[in-house]
Amino acid sequence: MRKALKYLLAILLAGIVAGYAAWTQYRPAGMFLSDLRSEIALNQGTPGEHGNLLGIQPELFPNDYRSPLLLRRKLAAYLEQARRDGLLNDKTIVVFPEHIGTWLVASGEKNQVYTASSVSEAMAWLAASNPLQVLKALFAAKGQDRLADALFRMKAEQMAHDYQTLFGGLASEYGITLVAGSIVLPEPRVEDGRLLAGDGPLFNVSQVFGSDGQPIGQPQRKVVPIIDEQGFTAAAGAEQLSVVNTPAGRLGVLVCADSWFPQNYQALADGQVDLLAVPAFLTGNGSWDKPWGGYNGAATPADVQIKAGELSEGEAWQRLAMAGRIGQSGARAGITVFMRGQLWDMGSDGHSLVANPAGHALAPDDRGARLINLWLE
C-alpha cells in the first residue's frame, strides 16, 4: 500500500511538473482592439524650410505590448495622422517618450502579464512563465533589484532587436529622424549598424534613428536614474552626453530627469547643440498638479534655491527642467514629451511642451494620443 502511494505521488508530481512545463511554453496569439486616433494638441510657429520638432504623446496600455507588431500598428497610426496634417518632412525630428521601449520586456508573454493589476504582479507572472531563463539571468544580475535586473537581462537580445526594427522601421518608412524614447538594456552599443545588448549593468538609453532606418551615434545613456530606477539601472557620466547631426541641426537628447541638471546642459553646449529632445515619463495619475517632491535621484543643484513643496510638479518641470534651462545649452529650440495611458498600476501624467530661449508653450491635458509640434526658424 505504501509503495503504491509513493508511486501515485510520483505520478502526480510528474504530472504537475509536465503541466507547468507545458504552461510556460504556451503563448496565446490574438489581436486586440486599440484606439489608433490622435489629434494635434499644440502647433507652434510657421511651416518653413527649417523643419520641425514633433512630439508623439501616445496613450498606451499593457495590451499594446503583446507584440511589437501591435505596438508598431499604433505608433504608425499616429505618424499617419501627422502626415495627413502636414507635419512630416525630410527635416522633421519625431520624439517619443521615455520607457516606450522598456515595456517590450512584456512582449510575447502570457495573458496574465497583461491583465495583472500591478507592475509587480506582471513581473511575477513574467518570471513564473520563464523559470529557466530567469534563473540563468539571476546569476548574471548586477543591480540591487536582482529580479528586475534578471527579467530585463533575460530578454535583452530580443528587446534590442524589436526596438531597432520597430523604431528604425518607422523612421525609414516616414522619412524622418526619430528619437525612440528610451529602453532598458544591459551595456548597449551600436556596432555595424546594429543595436546590441552586452553583459554589463543595465542602462536606460535613448537611440536616435535616421531616415534610412539606421542608428545615429551610440545609445544615449541616462545620467541621473531616479530612485525607482536605481535598484536595477546604472548612471552614466555627464561626459557621455553627445550631440548628433540631423537634417534639422545638431541634436542632443536628455532622458527625463537629466533635463533638470545644469552640468548636462553645459556638456551639450560644449557639443554645440542646436536642438534638445527630452523623452519623459511622470508616474502617477494627477501628479502634475501635486506638490513637487524635490530632486529625485541626485542632490539639488547649487543654482536651485526652491525647496520641495514650494511649487507644483508641473511648475517645477517648467522652471527647473528643459523649459527653464534651455538657454544654458545654447540650443535654439527643444521639446519635452511625456508618456500617457495606464500601464498596470503606474498611472501617468505630464503636459508635453515646446520651448526656446524666449519662452515655452504647454500642450493641454487632454485624454487620448496627442501631437505636439514646433516649427523651427
Give the pTM. 0.93
| pLDDT for residue 28 | 58
Tens of pLDDT along the chain (377 residues) come to: 455 444 433 443 333 333 444 435 555 555 566 899 999 999 999 999 999 999 999 999 999 999 999 999 999 999 999 999 999 999 999 999 999 999 999 999 999 999 999 999 999 999 999 999 999 999 999 989 999 999 999 999 999 999 999 999 999 999 999 999 999 999 999 999 999 999 999 999 999 999 999 999 999 999 999 999 999 999 999 999 999 999 999 999 999 999 999 999 999 999 999 999 999 999 999 999 999 999 999 999 999 999 999 999 999 999 999 999 999 999 999 999 999 999 999 999 999 999 999 999 999 988 899 999 999 99
pLDDT at 34: 82
Of 144, 140, 143, 102, the closest CA to residue 123 belongs to 102
Q: Among 335, 330, 96, which Cα is nearest to 208's?
A: 96
CA distance 320 to 333: 16
Instruction: Supply 52's cell numbers.
Output: 520641425
Write out the three cell numbers for 121.
Answer: 504582479
Strands (E) in the chain, as ranges, are: 38-44, 52-57, 59-60, 92-95, 177-179, 183-186, 189-191, 194-196, 202-209, 215-221, 243-246, 249-253, 275-280, 333-338, 340-341, 353-356, 359-362, 369-375
CA distance 102 to 190: 17
Task: Give CA–CA dist 19/88, Å, rounded.
Answer: 51
Rounded distance between C-alpha atoms, residue 357 and residue 325, angstroms: 8
Is the CB of residue 229 less than 8 Å from the CB of residue 204? yes
Domains defined for the chain, CATH in brackets: 33-101+159-375 (3.60.110.10)
Residue 38 DSSP SS3? strand
The identity of residue 186, as a single letter, is P
Q: Which of 217, 231, 366, 234 is nearest to 277 (CA)?
A: 217
